[in-house]
Amino acid sequence: MRKPGLLLSPSAWRTIGQSLFFLLFLVLFIKTDYAGVDELTWAVNLLFRIDPFLALAAMLAAKTVIALMLPALLTLLLTLLFGRFFCGWVCPMGALIDSSRRLFGRTNTLIPEPGRRQLKYYLLFFLLAAALFGLPLAGYLDPFSLLVRGFTFAVQPGLDHAATTLFTWTYQQAPPWVNAVTEPVYALLKRLVLPFSDKVYALSVFSLLLLLTVLGLSWVERRFFCRKVCPLGALLALVARFSLLRLSGGSAECGQCRQCRSVCPMAAIDETRAIAAAECTLCLDCQTHCPRSRFHYGWRRNGSGKQTTDLSRRAMVASLAAGALAPLALSTRPHARQAEPLLIRPPGALAEKEFLGLCVRCGECMKVCIGNALHAAWLEAGLEGVFTPRLIGRIGYCEYSCTLCGQVCPTGAIRKLHKPEKQAVVIGRAHFDKNRCLPFASGIPCIVCEEHCPTPDKAIKFREVEVDNSKGERVKVRQPYVLDHLCIGCGICEHKCPLSGASAVLVTSAGESRHADLNIRDGY
Amino acid sequence: MNRRQFIREVFLWSAGTTLAIPRFTILPEAMAAEKPPALLSVAKGTEYTALVARVLQPLGGMGQFVRPGDRVVVKPNIGWDRSPEQAANTHPQVVAAVVAQALQAGAKRVLVFDRTCNEQRRCYANSGIERAILDLKDSRAMIEHIDQRKFVPMQIAQGKSLTQWEIYKDSLDCDCYINLPVAKHHGLSRLTLGLKNSMGVIGGNRGKLHHDLGQSLADLATVIRPKLTIIDATRILLNNGPQGGDLKDVRRLDTLIASADPVAADAYATTLFDLAPDAIESTVAAHRMGLGEMALDRIKVLEA
């Protein structure tokens, strides 16, 4: 079964490879954070930049070549040479699906059937056509986007909360000798894996459920997501059909032995033991389990391993047409005329239409946001805007001198800005709710907002006035107001407003510098 | 009822009342008796490390405040994501020099921290203070980020406006607490000096203190009691405080002020801004509570 001299089985080597790449993914994920200097020193968004599906979708949407995404070409070239190794060896989602199989998978001995594996191709065609014609949805189903969103919004903050709860309990209740052990452990965890500060995220549970659904689909059949849904897998499969190197070996002569077919997670081996190069992820399980060691990986031979992808021309045209026609409906929504005023985009975000086209919903900007200000939008930007970043001032604010979101954006949907540039970008403007603001509403001194306003010439100023306070006394208070030409909409005033519940300062997207025209179309 | 009878009656009745309502408040006079002498030292110079040593000399040097084996807390202002020349935070060289002095005096451990307003890591890094402490290369000198678990609810028995608040454990549980604020402009309190700097050791929703800021700061000063206050006026922020950002608002004074009396230190520092001590509500409130001296003619200024 095993080649002499090879200590580990081929499958074991694959598992090691998968683990290493998963580890790399985790390191990049954790490194997606402020590290003491303004510029990130790691290419933390690398994973997204080698994703040819997102690259293609973003480039089609922008109708231009995005230099940042060119590493994705390498993935395609390697796939053309080696086949769909990416799915079996590199993809961290694949690694997670494989490793969680014991939780979700069923142990049936039936030989897996190809089923409707064409679905992923139609989905790919639909998504690419839709991207080209103005409905960018690629990020919804991209495996990396799904994974990073789940980890950013729910997994890491959840672990942090659990750890903090535990170590707060030991810190407060346990005797010193216990703390002598637990405190260094906590410090180490904080340094290595937990976020610096506790964070909350909009759509956290939803994102976690989506991630769990992808993993849970293994219950239906092994690697269900990779076989039938994953649009990245579909793109790689289209290329892998023509790969120069591939697995082959079995034949009809193998008789009743169907070992290879029953272990193949992708159902890529048919009755004649021919391996569909498009489906095979080179997991090498067949090689490991073949009692006669018939499988080998090598140059493609003419006539061997021919398998069609069973694509129907009619369905293909239909999915392309659906993608091309679906965007027509978009212009009928109120969004087309009036942007949602509470939708505040990160500094450096392109004008809304271009922004949506390029944003791949990877969640990197929200992961790196030092102020926990960026959150996943729900329907504020329309159906195609779910998971795009928006600033929620009450939860967090945009740190005046921080430029991290533009640094991690893999497609340039958020431009990389230098500090002075960023400090001049207007993402919205603040205004006061005088019914709640204390110096107005009850004659109580406050102006915490003015204290925190970061522009060197403060955008929030105050007037000293005499008013009757809520006790009926005549008092002097300082009442704040906003100077529009100085306000950049960072939201620190909204965030730090000491009122409980809703803030007395609100930031809206009014006046944002990226597209002044959209808000006032068809005005007076 | 004759006079003797009257006195006896009064004595009995009032004794009864006193027994029924136990009162343990310390009277302002008693507090005034225990207050430190209003000695204050001022020094000017451009070499800040030497300046710190010089300003402490007239007060008897750091050894007067830090005993060998002491656990010391040095509390600078690291509140803002600003660079040293922008004058929003205590000067890193001053902080490092104060820590070094405490180490020289034999401190077992010197802890530096602040609950920042901007993001902690950015403030620690860009204020230059983190680097300055690490560059001392002394394992006894530590700069730590705020650990939320260390905020403990504290009764402020003498508090008039603030009767309870969460206070950072390390600022209470130490042998010597050194307050090391930077002197600068502030929209609400006009200036932020030593008493205002104590807001960096409290938890909770700090903005609420602004509703009665002067009295709240005085109340805090009854429980957060620095043995030594050093006010950094090497450069001061005259406008757009407390975080500034425009170098035009910064004036270089190359001055340090040191005193064991927190109120006297604030009162004197106020004059650097051409204001009288009573322009600052917290100074007035703290003086009224007997926490220190604010009358300039009753503060003995020692020029070093």
Q: pLDDT tens digit string along B255-288? A: 999 999 999 999 999 999 999 999 999 999 999 9
pLDDT at residue A310, rounded to an integer: 74
Sign of CA dihedral A499, A501, A507, A510: negative
- Taking only the tens place, the pLDDT of each residue in B121-148 is 999 999 999 999 999 999 999 999 999 9
Asked if residue A489 lies in contact with residue A430, where contact means CB atoms within 8 angstroms, the answer is yes
Asked if residue B94 lies in contact with residue B289, where contact means CB atoms within 8 angstroms, the answer is no
Question: What span, in angstroms and rounded, lies between the C-alpha atoms of A128 and A57?
Answer: 5
Sign of CA dihedral A192, A193, A194, A195: positive
Question: What span, in angstroms and rounded, lies between the C-alpha atoms of A232 and A216?
Answer: 19
* Contact at CB, B81 and A458, closer than 8 angstroms: no
pLDDT tier at B22, thresholds 50, 70, 90: very low
Q: Could you list the pLDDT tens digit for every one of the 524 residues in chain A?
A: 444 555 789 999 999 999 999 999 999 999 999 999 999 988 999 999 999 999 999 999 999 999 999 999 999 999 999 999 999 999 999 999 999 988 876 766 677 788 889 999 999 999 999 999 999 999 999 999 999 999 999 999 999 999 999 999 999 999 999 999 999 999 999 999 999 999 999 999 999 999 999 999 988 889 999 999 999 999 999 999 999 999 988 887 888 888 999 999 999 998 888 899 999 999 999 999 999 889 989 988 765 555 666 788 999 999 999 999 999 888 888 887 788 899 999 999 999 999 999 999 999 999 999 999 999 999 999 999 999 999 999 999 999 999 999 999 999 999 999 999 999 999 999 999 999 999 999 999 999 999 999 999 999 999 999 999 989 999 999 999 999 999 999 999 999 999 999 999 999 998 898 865 544 455 55
Between β-strands B250-259 and A505-508, what pairing exists: parallel, antiparallel or unpaired?
Answer: unpaired
* Contact at CB, B207 and A497, closer than 8 angstroms: yes
State the pTM of this model. 0.91
pLDDT at residue B304, rounded to an integer: 81
pLDDT at residue A2, rounded to an integer: 45
* Contact at CB, A402 and B122, closer than 8 angstroms: yes
pLDDT at residue B11, rounded to an integer: 67
Asked if residue A360 lies in contact with residue A138, where contact means CB atoms within 8 angstroms, the answer is yes
Residue A171: its chain B contacts at CB < 8 A?
149
Residue B35 in this model has a pLDDT that exceeds 80: no
pLDDT at residue A108, rounded to an integer: 64
Arithmetic mean of pLDDT, B18-24: 49
Between β-strands B164-168 and B176-180, what pairing exists: parallel, antiparallel or unpaired?
Answer: unpaired
Name which of A34, A167, A500 is nearest B122 (Cβ-Cβ).
Answer: A34
Residue B246: its chain A contacts at CB < 8 A?
456-457
Chain pair A-B, CB pairs under 8 angstroms: 81
- Taking only the tens place, the pLDDT of each residue in B63-82 is 999 999 999 999 999 999 99
Question: What span, in angstroms and rounded, lies between the C-alpha atoms of B212 and B190?
Answer: 14
Residue of A nearest to B186 (CA): A451
Return mean pLDDT, chain B: 92
Closest CA–CA distance from residue B60 to any residue of chain A (Å)? 37
Arithmetic mean of pLDDT, B11-17: 60
pLDDT at residue A81, rounded to an integer: 96
Residue B188: its chain A contacts at CB < 8 A?
445-447, 450-451, 478
* Contact at CB, A445 and B117, closer than 8 angstroms: no
* Nearest alpha-carbon partner for A449 in A413, A411, A478: A478
Between β-strands B71-76 and B176-180, what pairing exists: parallel, antiparallel or unpaired?
Answer: parallel
Check if A259 contacts B (Cβ < 8 Å). Answer: no
Helix (H) or strand (E) segment spanning residue A313: helix A313-325
Residue B1 in this model has a pLDDT that exceeds 90: no
Residue B216 identity (one-letter amino acid): S
Inter-CA distances, A348 with A425, A426, A508, Å: 7, 9, 16
Residue B134 identity (one-letter amino acid): L
Residue B103 in this model has a pLDDT that exceeds 60: yes
Question: What span, in angstroms and rounded, lies between the C-alpha atoms of B125 and B142?
Answer: 14
Closest CA–CA distance from residue B239 to any residue of chain A (Å)? 9
pLDDT at residue A112, rounded to an integer: 78
Residues B141/B146/B152/B156 CA torsion (nearest 10 deg)? 80
Chain A interface disruption, residue of B89, B188, B189, B246, most A CBs within 10 A: B188
